[in-house]
Amino acid sequence: MWKRNKKNEANEEADKGLSELFKLVSYLGPYRLCFYSALICLFVTALLSLAFPYLMGELIGGSMGGTDGIADPKNVKEKINSVALILVTVLAVQAFIAYWRVRWFAFAGESALADIRKDAYGKLIKLPMSYFSERRVGELCSRISADLSLIRDTLILTVPQIIRQAVMLVGGISFIAWASPKLTMVMLLCIPIVVILMGIFGRGIRVQTREAQDELAASNVIVEESLHGIASVKAFTNESHEELRYSESIKGFVNLTLSASKARALFVSFIIFALFGVITFVIWYGAGMLDRGEINATKFTQFVLFSIFVGAALGSFPDILSQLHKAVGATVRVREIISERPEPEGDDCEKLSRLRGEVRFIDVSFSYPSRKEVEVLKEINLSVNAGERVAIVGASGAGKSTLFQLLMRFYDPSSGELQFDGQNAANYSLRELRNQMAIVPQEVLLFGGSIRENIAYGCPGAENSHIIAAAEKANAHEFIQSFPESYQTIVGDRGVKLSGGQRQRIAIARAILADPAILLLDEATSSLDSESEGLVNEALETLMSERTSIIIAHRLATVRGADRILVLRDGRFIESGTHEELSCKDGGVYKMLSELQFN
């Protein structure tokens, strides 16, 4: 029963994979003229290839005396020369057409693949946060790189090979059937056996190939994580540990690959033995017919050469099918990304003018999709007036960052309602709503471009004067000017060329440039030295005075000036008031935290 279920799963996977592969082939549509031209060239070159054994038969047969076996000295040389000239002409024409065939296939294939890459990446970055929380970055990178490379090889190399070998196979069998039906029957006896074995071996190889690709993706995850966290790896001297992890993953990949190659090797060995065994038998049988005068030298030579062409075409199918199986597995995973449902952007929602900045949480509860059994927020109620400055304090894991993720609508509440300016958040377009907010996280991630590009990320297309003004307000202009390339300085991967405080100030400048109605600060000054912190706090005071500001505080010194402070514990607000009010509350959590930090 278990084996039957595994077989059914393999069959369903094969059908699904082929179906998805055909859907990807539809990406060739915009380049159909180029693709069809390449197909025509492919057919022509394949047919011209079939002329080679025919002409070679005429050449060899002519030198041996033509069709009746009696050489005519006056005509033999002339016939040999004319056939040789035709053969050279055919080869020259074939080479010329093959040049354009390769170019057009490459253009259509690369262009289609570029569209697939753009669609896959475009869909990927539009997927909800829940999708990314359940997957690892390295795995997704493998889908965009390794899997699409396999699909590229399929479009540019494998598909033309399938068509070419199919033409060679059909054309070759048609000619040998015309040349000698008797020998053809002997030749074709092995084909049903080969086809059946191709199907049996192919399904097993396909499953093993997909498992190997999954293991390769897992190894890419290890590389991605270790390189992103290279400082931690070195700090804890875990180079050997990471090397061992990667080696174990690669070992698993190699074992799966070798297992698949073993099945493929058995298949190829059988095909080679069967095909060339039959060809040898047919040649032996045909030699007897030639000796008995049942077939002439020309046709026998042509038959032998066409038989070799047919055998070579059949012999190439195992490798072609192997590549196709890999492409099918890769296609399924790429199509899984493309077919995922993106975040509902709410384009049908009414246009949003600038928000006043009122925020309300009404009986909001929330659990992350990957941990539905753990309730992070429990019936939260919170009202923030326009222009109000609200600070949220609490221990790690209390749910502070989760509030920000709900405000940005990275996730929707499990129950309850989130409102902006008295309207349900779902009534607003995601894009327009997020454009009204800016967030400065504690852990700042900069992109690998220039400082200017990173600041302008808050408002693409901003003028240089606005970018510089934002940097000045964030106390970043001075250190930026100290670099030889100023605002064109490349920050490196994830901003590694800048200090933590510098990265934080770039993030603050980005938020200032965005000019949001609602500002979200996750301890925005945590990485600054005392001098810079004072200057940035002055800038933030000016920035926050005219807009709603919600601050996650780890150091209570940064929230003394907040209009209201809320204490969050275990997913619930347990205290609310100003710094002075909460500091005087006997037995209060805020008072305890305040005494610990200030005393």
- Catalytic center residues: 523
The order of strands in the sheet holding 415-420 is 377-384, 359-366, 415-420, 423-424
Enclosing H/E stretch for 423: strand 423-424
Question: Please, how many CA atoms are within 13 Å of residue 185, restricted to the half-sphere of its CB?
Answer: 2
Only one residue has tokens 């471009």, namely 449
E strands within 96-179?
none
* Rounded Cα–Cα distance for residues 210 and 10 (Å): 11
Burial of 505 from C-beta contacts in 10 A (0-12 / 13-18 / 19+):
buried
Residue 450: DSSP 8-state: B
**Shortest CA distance to 365 belongs to which of 389, 342, 345, 382?**
382
Helices 297-338/32-63 angle, 10° precision: 160
CA distances from 188 to 94, 170, 274, 507, 569 (A): 29, 12, 11, 72, 78
Q: Give Cβ neighbours of residue 232 (< 8 Å, ≥ 6 apart).
A: 238
Q: How far is CA 205 from the centre of its chain?
A: 23
The order of strands in the sheet holding 564-569 is 437-440, 518-522, 548-553, 389-393, 564-569, 572-577
Burial of 188 from C-beta contacts in 10 A (0-12 / 13-18 / 19+):
middle
* Rounded Cα–Cα distance for residues 192 and 25 (Å): 29
Strands 564-569 and 548-553 come out as unpaired
CB-based contact 303:183 (threshold 8 Å): yes
Enclosing H/E stretch for 40: helix 32-63
CB-based contact 403:392 (threshold 8 Å): yes
Question: Can you say whether the dihedral through the CA atoms of 307, 194, 263, 274 is positive or negative?
Answer: negative
Residue 516: DSSP 8-state: -
Q: Give Cβ neighbours of residue 208 (< 8 Å, ≥ 6 apart).
A: 256, 259, 260, 263
